């Protein structure tokens, strides 16, 4: 039996991020072999990951990467905001975003190897063992284009990709910041679904039909109300956040640019977050409820 020295335990801890007692146990189980012990801990980590997989992970971080005409956003989720700020978690999200530049979708990303030699999925499982929370690689978005593309992340919580035909990097980044702040559902009125416009006309008609005004005036009032609503929902109709004296459409026209498309990801959107009543939980465990 090899001697389990403090230096061996330290080496294994630095390599795996596992606790001191877990490292000592792993070395004991594997006769002091660091390689075998690291693999043993990984297997234990995978077992822990399976137990945590059902827990809701609605916090986390959006990370971005950009190179050679490609730009990506990746959403990595954790259970708590505390873990989302952990150095290990942050390092993983950055590595996953870089790996996403060569991946077509999330499934391909999970199988992509990092610089460490691990796949993203293997690194995710190891991270779960370190931070003690469920971690999920939830989704990614990418643009691969010869056009001008900007990737922008605000506070790790909101990520945006904007693709421009014409314009420049500065304008693309400014528009990405605008999308992050204003969250427009559509690029322009031409992109708004016809059924939505029809419903807005119906609502506007109900609002003005009893005003007693002539039909041609009512039609203008209805058109004005609908146009106002549609413009508020469209990127091009909104006041540009970096110069509110003009709309995004006016800004684009002045630059001779056109928005080809954009995507906006926000951490946890669409995930049903679990809300715990702490008092009720305590009473339940105490047998009082």
CA nearest 139: which of 227, 62, 221?
62
- Looking at every residue in the chain, the average pLDDT score rounds to 86
Decide: 161 and 151 in contact? Cβ < 8 Å: yes
| pLDDT exceeds 90 at position 282 | no
One-character DSSP codes across 54-104: TS---EEEEEEEEETTEEEEEEEEESSHHHHT-HHHHHHHHHHHHHHTT-S
Tokens 């004296």 belong to 245
Domains and CATH numbers, the chain: 6-52 (1.10.8.10), 53-144 (3.30.479.20)
pLDDT of 278 over the 60 cut: no
Q: Please check the confidence at residue 289 and state whether its pLDDT lies above 50.
A: no
pLDDT at residue 228, as a whole number: 87
What is d(CA 195, CA 203) in angstroms, rounded to the nearest whole number?
A: 12
Model pLDDT, residue 107: 94
Q: What tens digit of pLDDT does each residue of 207-227 get?
A: 777 777 777 888 888 888 888
Q: Is the pLDDT of residue 16 over 90?
A: no
DSSP state of 234: B
CB 114 within 8 A of CB 100: no
* Sheet of strand 70-78, all strands in order from the earlier edge strand to the far edge: 59-67, 70-78, 136-144
Residue 10 neighbours by CB distance under 10 Å: 12
Other residues' Cβ atoms within 10 Å of the Cβ of residue 48: 14
Residue 50 has pLDDT above 50, yes or no: no
Q: What angle do CA 183, 154, 266 make, to 5 degrees?
A: 50
H/E element, 195: helix 194-208
The Cα-based distances of 22 to 10, 41, 130, 212 in angstroms read 11, 8, 11, 81
Strands (E), 9-58: none
Confidence of residue 45 (pLDDT cuts 50, 70, 90): low
What average pLDDT does the segment 66-83 reach?
A: 93
Residue 47: pLDDT over 50: no
Q: Using CA atoms, how far apart are residues 114 and 95, in angstroms rounded to an integer?
A: 7
Q: Which of 65, 70, 153 is nearest to 114 (CA)?
A: 65
Cα–Cα distance, 88 to 132 (Å, whole number): 12
pTM over 0.85: no
Would you give the end-to-end CA distance of the chain in angstroms?
A: 53
Q: What pLDDT sits at residue 97?
A: 97
CA distance 282 to 289: 9
The mean-pLDDT minimum among 117-126, 195-204, 265-274, 277-286 falls in 277-286
CB distance 96 to 62 below 8 Å: no
| Nearest by Cα to 22 from 36, 37, 7 | 37
């Amino acid at each position: 039996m090899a001697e389990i020295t403090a230096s061996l335990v330290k080496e294994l801890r630095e390599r795996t991020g596992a606790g001191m007692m877990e490292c000592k146990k792993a070395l004991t189980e594997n006769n002091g072999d660091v390689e075998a012990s690291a693999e043993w801990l990984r297997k234990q980590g995978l077992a822990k990951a399976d137990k945590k997989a059902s827990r809701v992970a609605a916090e986390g971080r959006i990370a971005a990467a950009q190179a050679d005409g490609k730009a990506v956003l990746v959403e990595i989720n954790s259970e708590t905001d505390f873990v989302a700020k952990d150095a290990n978690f942050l390092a993983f999200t950055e590595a996953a975003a870089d790996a996403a530049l060569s991946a077509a979708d999330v499934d391909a990303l999970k199988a992509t190897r990092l610089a460490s030699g691990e796949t993203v999925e293997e690194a995710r499982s190891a991270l779960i063992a370190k931070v003690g929370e469920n971690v999920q690689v939830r989704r990614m978005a990418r643009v691969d284009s010869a056009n001008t593309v900007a990737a922008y992340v605000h506070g790790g919580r909101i990520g945006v990709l904007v693709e421009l035909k014409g314009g420049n990097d500065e304008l693309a980044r400014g528009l990405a910041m605008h999308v992050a702040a204003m969250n427009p559902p559509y690029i322009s009125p031409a992109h708004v679904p016809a059924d939505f416009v029809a419903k807005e006309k119906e609502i506007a008609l109900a609002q003005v039909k009893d005003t007693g005004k002539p039909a041609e005036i009512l039609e203008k009032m209805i058109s004005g109300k609908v146009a106002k609503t549609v413009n508020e929902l469209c990127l091009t109709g909104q006041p540009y956040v970096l110069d509110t004296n003009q709309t995004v459409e006016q800004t684009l026209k002045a630059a001779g640019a056109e928005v080809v498309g954009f995507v906006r990801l926000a951490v946890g959107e669409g995930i049903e977050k679990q809300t715990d009543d702490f008092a009720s939980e305590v009473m339940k465990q105490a047998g009082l409820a």
